[in-house]
Each structure stands twice: as C-alpha cells, then as structure tokens.
Amino acid sequence: MKMETVSDKPVGVFDSGMGGLTVAHAIKQILPNEKIIYFGDTAHLPYGDKSKESIIHYSSEITRFLLQNNCKVVLMACNSASAVAFDEVNKELGQEVIILNVIDPVVKYLEKFYSHGKIGIIGTKATINSGTYGSRIKKVCPDLDVVSMAAPLFVPMIEEGFIFDDISNAIIRSYMSKPLLKDINALILGCTHYPIIKNQINKYFDFEVDIIDSAKIVALELKALLSEKKLLNQGVSVDYEFYVSDFTDNFEKIAQMFFEGSVNLHKSDLWR
C-alpha cells in the first residue's frame, strides 16, 4: 500500500458560503489532480457585515478544522476573511500550514497589466471598509485611480438563489449605475460570490470593462506555489469533500453545478 506523501494531501478551501466554490471550481480546472476539502460557513454568512473579531475567530477555527483534515495548504477563498483575518490567522497558524488569500494574487495581476486608468472595486462592507485592496493596489500601482464601493445585497441575493432574474438584474443595475463607477477601465469582483453574476455585470457595461474575476487568478497562483514547493499532486485519485456549518439547498445546487453531479455534503458545526 502506497504511503501518503505531503503532495498527496488535499487543498483546503473555505468561504462564508457558496462563493468560494467559484475558486474551488477554478482549482479543479487548473489543478485537476488536486484533492479539495471545502468548508462553507453557511451558519454565519455573510461575513461582510460581521465584526473583525468574529471574522478572525471563524477563520481561525475553520483553518484549524482543515489542518485536522490533513490539508497541505489552506486558501481563504473569502475576500472579507482575506482582508480582515489573513494576517492574524497566518501569524497564529502559518507555521503549521501554508495559508493563502484571494487579494494578493489580484494585486499582482493589476501590477502586471495596469499602470494607469481607473479601477473599480466592489465587495462586502468588511472588505471595502478594511481598505486592504485600495492600499495594496496603490502601493504597487501609484498612478492608478482606485475607487471602492460596498455592494452588500449581492451575497444574500446569490445565497438565496436570486440569479439571472429580474430581481438580480435590478439590484445589479442599482449598484453598477453609481456615479463612483463611471468611466472605469476595470472592475475587481472583490467577493468570491460575485463571479456567479459576472455575466450580468459584464452585460451591464456592454462588455467594455475588464471584469476581474479572482478565481482563475488565484488558482494559477496556487499552481505556481505548489510547483515551487514541489507539492503538486502527481496522482490520479482525486477526491472532493464538502462541509457546511448549516445545510442550505442553494449551496448543494451550486456545488453540483460546479462539480458536475452528486455532491457528498457533510454538516460540521465547529462552534457547538
């Protein structure tokens, strides 16, 4: 019987709900040999309106859970957690496992492809109020005009299944028509839920704005890191495990859509 090596271990991914599935799906496409353990903290979503202390606590406990499940790397597939909790969780647990966030890879992307122009950022209140995106972007791209706007209705709208309908289109128009976003060259979807409505946002701007979806960018960054650390899984025995802190019908539907077929969903309340 073959002994498990570090490279055989799974990649841990977590988010406040189903949004991080967009990142997990990108990992599946770009790193098809990697096992994935996904945790959606559906009992506490959205993180965007939670206190900094709560987000740090949830993120720390979920990271511990993924560590206990033998993950070789943990990806915070949540912009609110990445903006508010990454430094604290990395300081606390980073010596035990590699921890990644979804903001730094997007900043690297902008540094590579944008030096001038106007960039819009939309996200949850926690992400936008933290100022993390804006400060990190201005540090590497000082000539960019960066504007940020919270879009707090998007996450509950998506989690409740209001997608591709008149309700979602009306909410998207309401946010995207704000004067702050006028004449932007690119729009960062600063929440991993938002790629689910990327096409509708793209359509609002008549496909003339670069809609920056972090999922593929983050998956490519993960691939580069695993390759550098010689941690790429070379095997063919791929497995996906999904955990939630509370069952929701829409989570299972979206997971089945991204992972093509039946999904084995487990409930694990880490705070009981």
Would you give per-residue pLDDT tens digits along the chain (272 residues)?
A: 455 688 999 999 999 999 999 999 999 999 999 999 999 999 998 999 999 999 999 999 999 999 999 999 999 999 999 999 999 999 999 999 999 999 999 999 999 999 899 999 999 999 999 999 999 999 999 999 999 999 999 999 998 888 889 999 999 999 999 999 999 999 999 999 999 999 999 999 999 999 999 999 999 999 999 999 999 998 766 789 999 999 887 888 888 888 887 788 999 988 77
CA neighbor of 253 nearest in space, from 87, 17, 41: 17
Sheet holding 73-76, edge to edge: 98-100, 73-76, 11-15, 36-40, 240-244, 265-267
* CB of 44 closer than 8 Å to CB of 108: no
Contact partners, residue 91, CB within 8 Å, separation at least 6: none
Rg over alpha carbons for the chain, rounded to the nearest Å, is 18
* CB of 169 closer than 8 Å to CB of 144: no
The confidence score (pLDDT) of residue 23 equals 96
Catalytic residue among 43, 191, 197, 263: 191
The confidence score (pLDDT) of residue 1 equals 42
The confidence score (pLDDT) of residue 236 equals 67
Q: Where are the beta strands (DSSP E) in the chain?
A: 11-15, 36-40, 73-76, 98-100, 118-123, 145-150, 186-190, 210-212, 240-244, 265-267
d(CA 108, CA 159): 29
The confidence score (pLDDT) of residue 3 equals 55
- DSSP-assigned states of every residue in 76-101: E--HHHHHHTHHHHHHHHTTTSEEE-
Our answer to whether residue 191 is catalytic in this structure is: yes
d(CA 4, CA 176): 49
The confidence score (pLDDT) of residue 2 equals 53
The confidence score (pLDDT) of residue 145 equals 97
Our answer to whether residue 141 is catalytic in this structure is: no
Catalytic residue among 78, 97, 209, 244: 78
Tokens representing residue 131 in the block: 């100022």
Q: How many residues does the chain have?
A: 272
Please name each of the domains of the chain with its CATH number.
6-101+216-267 (3.40.50.1860), 104-213 (3.40.50.1860)
d(CA 60, CA 65): 9
pTM of the full structure: 0.92
